[in-house]
Amino acid sequence: MRIKKYRSMLYVPGNNPAMVQQATIYGADSVLLDLEDAIAPDEKDAARDLLRHHIPLLDRENCVLTVRVNGLDTPLGEQDVRAMVPLQLDAIRVPKVESAVAMQQLDALITELEREHGITQPVEIHAMIETARGVMNAADIATSTPRISALTFGAQDLLADLGLRRTDRAGLTFPRGQILMAAKAARLHVLDTPFIDIEDEDGLRASAEEAKSLGFTGKAVINPRQIDIVNQVFSPSPEEVTHAIRVVGSFNAHKAAGSGVFALDGKMVDRPVVEQAITVLRLADIDPATL
């Protein structure tokens, strides 16, 4: 089975045929075809039709395909889900999720559609947490159905819902931490919000590095120019991989000799240090069992 990677997820407005056709060629791990906030209200039906026609033509070999549907509290949300599930997406991204019950209802609808259309590879749900209510219910949402594989942190909507300005970053500290912990406790991916200044490469790199150090799996991007930096930040460096290989190899040798703790280059190595090294190896597509 293909391992899904989510270092970079490229948002593509679902009503732009040229952008949709090119979406998978830029090297993003995932594309995120949007039917929600990038689409004006009178373009919603046309965007859904456009995706219905173009998705089957996309080259999906190295790219995870997700669609952001409209909110499930609007009639558009269900229409989008009904149109998109038969297209065999990898995941549906649901905006402004506020309750576990809403996710269970969506799970039931997707299950019905998969059965009706003979879809055998289950469509995952990525739940976007981007309102105060969603933040307070994040842990329940994360465990509401096994179909949820990721939580995402949506900064722009949260700023709006919390009555904050774009510069009020401090107000996002608690919500972001809560979403991260809810996702980690449920063993889900957790995906960061895009950096919206497409001209500021240093700012993008700093934002991605901060997200990585907090434990995010990856970051949404809004422009192809942002992909390389985000992929780079969320990939381990060759030095990190070499070190991780040494840690795991040395640990195995010490374990065989009956020791669970030792020093490597003057630093202690024990089980949790080895687990950190294994995380690095997995990100580099190296199977630790082969070392």
Answer yes or no whether residue 77 interacts with Mg ion by CB under 5 A.
no
Of 23 and 123, nearer to ligand ACO (C-beta) is 23
Answer yes or no whether residue 157 interacts with ligand OAA by CB under 6 A.
yes
Return the DSSP state at 90.
S
Residue 85 tokens read as: 């599930």
Q: What is the rounded distance in angstroms from the CA atom of residue 77 to the CA atom of residue 73?
A: 7
- CB-based contacts of 218: which residues, under 8 Å, 6+ apart? 5, 6, 7, 8, 9, 29, 30, 189, 191, 192, 230, 234
Count of C-beta atoms within a 10 Å radius of residue 34: 25
Region of 34-42, 76-84, 104-112, 256-264 interacting with ligand ACO (CB under 6 A): 34-42
Conformation bin of residue 258: beta by default, left when phi > 0, alpha when psi is -120 to 50: left
Q: SS3 for 66?
A: strand
Binding mask 171-210 for ligand ACO (x = CB under 6 A): -----------------------x---x------------
Answer yes or no whether residue 193 interacts with ligand OAA by CB under 6 A.
yes
Window 109 to 138, contacts with ligand OAA (CB under 6 A): 130
Q: For 240, how many CA atoms within 13 A lie in the half-sphere containing its CB?
A: 16
Answer yes or no whether residue 240 interacts with Mg ion by CB under 5 A.
no
Report what 224 binds from Mg ion, ligand ACO, ligand OAA, none; CB cut-off 5-8 Å by kind: ligand ACO
Is residue 17 within a helix (H) or strand (E), and if so which, with residue range? helix 17-22
Angle of CA points 99, 104, 110, to nearest 5°: 130
Binding mask 121-160 for Mg ion (x = CB under 5 A): ---------x-----------------------x--x---
Report what 64 binds from ligand ACO, ligand OAA, Mg ion, none; CB cut-off 5-8 Å by kind: none
Q: What is the rounded distance in angstroms from the CA atom of residue 11 to the CA atom of residue 222?
A: 5
Of 127 and 244, nearer to ligand OAA (C-beta) is 127
- Measured CA to CA in angstroms, residue 29 lies from 49, 116, 219 at distances of 25, 29, 10
**Residue 209 corresponds to which amino acid?**
E
Q: At its nearest, how many Å lie between Mg ion and the CB of residue 95?
A: 5
Q: Which of 13, 14, 134, 154 binds ligand OAA (CB under 6 A)?
A: 154
Window 5 to 44, contacts with ligand OAA (CB under 6 A): 37
Q: 């996309």: which residue's tokens?
A: 58
Report what 152 binds from Mg ion, ligand ACO, ligand OAA, none; CB cut-off 5-8 Å by kind: ligand OAA
Q: Is 68 annotated as a binding residue?
A: yes
Closest CA to 230 of 216, 246, 251, 248: 216
Q: Is 157 annotated as a binding residue?
A: yes
Is residue 220 within a helix (H) or strand (E), and if so which, with residue range? strand 218-221
Q: Which of 23, 72, 84, 233 binds ligand ACO (CB under 6 A)?
A: 23
Residue 234 CB-density burial (10 A; 0-12 exposed, 13-18 middle, 19+ buried): buried
Which residues belong to the annotated binding site for Mg(2+)?
A: 130, 157
Which residues belong to the annotated binding site for substrate?
A: 68, 130
| Residues making contact with ligand ACO (CB under 6 A) | 10-13, 18-19, 22-23, 34, 37-38, 156, 194, 198, 222-225
| Residues making contact with ligand OAA (CB under 6 A) | 37, 130, 152, 154-157, 193-194, 220
Which residues belong to the annotated binding site?
A: 68, 130, 157
